[in-house]
Every structure is written in structure tokens, then in C-alpha cells.
Amino acid sequence: MGLGSGSTVAFVVRQLGKLPDRGSIEFIPTSLQIKDEAEKCSLRIADDGRIPEIDLVFDGADQIDAKFNMIKGGGGALLKEKILISSAKKVVIVADETKYVQTFTRSVPIEIHPMARLSVQKRLKEMGAVPVLRTSDKGYPFVTENGNLILETSFSSIADPKKKEPELKNIPGVLEVGLFTRRADVYYKAKADGSFQVFTF
């Protein structure tokens, strides 16, 4: 089972830790944060070599549009999250109702190699986008667990995310894009009253 990143996934991990048969399941986390949470819950951590055998991935999202395309990467783990999601037989997304929008309104995280920082920014600007280097609370460049940088990239609109995703990935130096256009199998919309609305495909 693959585990995405973020506070929603951390909650899911704590619930998985209560399963009586959790010892029969192996987990692959996408971040040190979730790995630490999983270890605290006594979950078995699998080697990355098991990624092609993933049956199920639990993950969250930063935004989900009306066609169930997603923006992910707010926590900086978009590269590993996309690897797991692309390999999984089934994907389950859990997100707060505020994350569901008609069209995207937030920037798209783009993970880049540090050497390509200026060249990728130049190319994105030529495409009409506004890239801003993500920084930490102290103003230092945010570095992913893979040793890369993230450009928070704003677009006036993204008419076709399925077309935009490969277009951005084709820029030399771009390692992964926070547009996730593979439709998940199940979406849980968490409502303020504690109930869930479920979408299945």
C-alpha cells in the first residue's frame, strides 16, 4: 500500500495503525513525515523495490477540479507521489470539501533540478506563466527530499490539464509537475459536519 503525504494522509495512517491485521500489510511512504508517522503506528515499511506491486494508494490533494484533475505537491512530495500513483492498481483520494473547486485557483508546484532554475523560469515565463521559487519560513529556498527545488507556477487559466501536464514535463530540467490527471478510483469529500461524499469511477 502506498501512502501519500500531508495532514490528511497522516490521519489515515493513524487509522490504519488501529487495524488488527496491519502486520499483513506493507507500506511505502512518499515522505519522511509519513514514514515517521507509519513507524509510530507500527506499520511495516516496504522497500522501494515493491513499488511495481502496489495494490492501493491513499493520498490527499491541494485542489480537485470539476473533472477530478488534481493539483498536488503542497508538501513537496509530488515526484514520489506521482511515481506511486502511476504504479498503483487502485488510487483513493481523501480531501476536505474546500479542496474541491470548479477550476484551479492555486499555483502549480513544479519540481526542478537546481541547475535548471533560471532556464526553466525563463521558459515558463515565455509560456505566459509566473514562476516563483518556493522558500522556507526563514526565506531560504525550499529543498525537496530529493534535493531539488520547487517553482510555484501561476497560470491565468489551465484549459486542458491533460495537455498542460506533458507540455510542462517536456521542459529540460523539470522533474515532475503538480498536475495529476490520472483519475483516481475513489474520492472522499470530507464535509464540515464529519460526513463524507463519495465519488467512484
Q: Which of 37, 39, 53, 81 is catalytic?
A: 81
Mapping DSSP onto H, E and C, the string for 65-112 reads: CCCCCEECCCCCCHHHHHHHHHHCCEEEEEEEHHHECCCCCCCEEEEE
3-state secondary structure (DSSP) of residue 3:
strand
- 150 and 129 Cβ atoms separated by less than 8 Å: no
Whether 81 is catalytic is yes
Percentages of the chain per state (helix, strand, coil), in multiples of 5: 30, 30, 40
d(CA 46, CA 158) in angstroms, rounded, equals: 37
Q: How long a stretch of residues is the chain?
A: 201
Catalytic residues: 81
